[in-house]
Amino acid sequence: KSNRLYRDVSPVTNSEENHHFHRVFRGMVGESVKQHVRRLRIERAVHRLKHTDQSVTQIAFDAGYEAHEAFTRAFGAMFGQSPSQYRGQHRIALRAAAPSDVHYEPDGELKDFKEQALGDSTMNVRIEEIPSMQVAFVRHTGPYDECGDAWGKLMSWAGPRGLCGPSMKCVGVGHDDPEVTPRDKVRYDAGLAVDRPVSPEGDVGVQDVGGGEYAVATHRGPYEKLGESYASLCGQWLAESGREMRSAPALEFYRNNPQTTPPEELLTDICIPLAPR
């Protein structure tokens, strides 16, 4: 399955596809693309330290590091010794801990990797048709965990207009992957579904979201752990389902109030857009 994963990787052309790809990769392999590539490069460096006369500096450059010192720190953090110490001791090839069991191989072959049960591996996934809906939203640009101000602005606008209440439907739209997009460029829309026409005003915009089939799973627990459920849904369920994602943002529906609900009891429906069969 690892060979299939690497063979099917192709350049992405927009933010949503890029975001989806990284979620699938992390879910299947157990680490981000950056972490995976960095680890394999250091494992390749181990092989070269043991079997070649290349200088440590040149090996560091080949591993993608701009300075010998940075490579030495990364090597030490992974293996508990410096590159020079390892070379001097002539030990057997070292391998870093890897969730997937994919390691650097001198012959270039990829070995089958073990699948990880990330997040809630027992989550119940259902296919739902989510109708297109009009959403009033406030865009937050920056880390996802700092979006509280956007929600505050949205609710301050919605309250006087009679849009808040027990039946209101709060929806989050995440456009970017924080592992790829710089933290200050990550986009997130704090949204509220509206059942009557509204017009953009100040920080509040209006957009249509949804429409089409989605894979839906309910995450139970703090919002900080949503990434684990995304990994399970995208990297495990999707990989085995035979379905593909389409180029549209994922949606999050928040089913209870974080101000009155303990974090461990928060319920969030995460919805991944599916391409037609």
pLDDT per position as a tens digit, 165-195: 888 999 999 988 777 777 889 999 999 999 9
Lowest mean pLDDT among 36-45, 89-98, 184-193: 89-98
Average pLDDT score over residue span 222-230: 91
How far apart, in whole angstroms, are the C-alpha atoms of residue 251 and residue 270? 6
Which pLDDT score, from 0 to 100, does residue 1 have?
Answer: 37
Place of tokens 């390749």: 44
Instruction: Name the burial class of residue 97, with classes exposed (0-12), middle (13-18) and buried (19+) by CB atoms within 10 angstroms of its CB.
Output: exposed
Residue 64 contacts residue 5 (beta carbons within 8 Å) = no
Question: What residue type is 240 in one-letter code?
Answer: E
Under the banding of pLDDT at 50, 70 and 90, the label for residue 227 is confident
Angle (nearest 5°) at CA 29 between 24 and 34: 85
Query: Which residues, in sequence order, are bridge partners of residue 213?
Result: 129
| Average of per-residue pLDDT values in the chain | 83
Instruction: Name the burial class of residue 273, with classes exposed (0-12), middle (13-18) and buried (19+) by CB atoms within 10 angstroms of its CB.
Output: buried
Give residue-wise pLDDT tens across range 121-133: 457 999 999 999 9
Local structure of residue 236 (DSSP, 8 states): I
pTM assigned to the model: 0.65
Share of the chain above pLDDT 70, in %: 79
Question: Could you give the 3-state DSSP secondary structure of residue 15?
Answer: helix
Which pLDDT score, from 0 to 100, does residue 88 have?
Answer: 81
Which pLDDT score, from 0 to 100, does residue 119 have?
Answer: 42
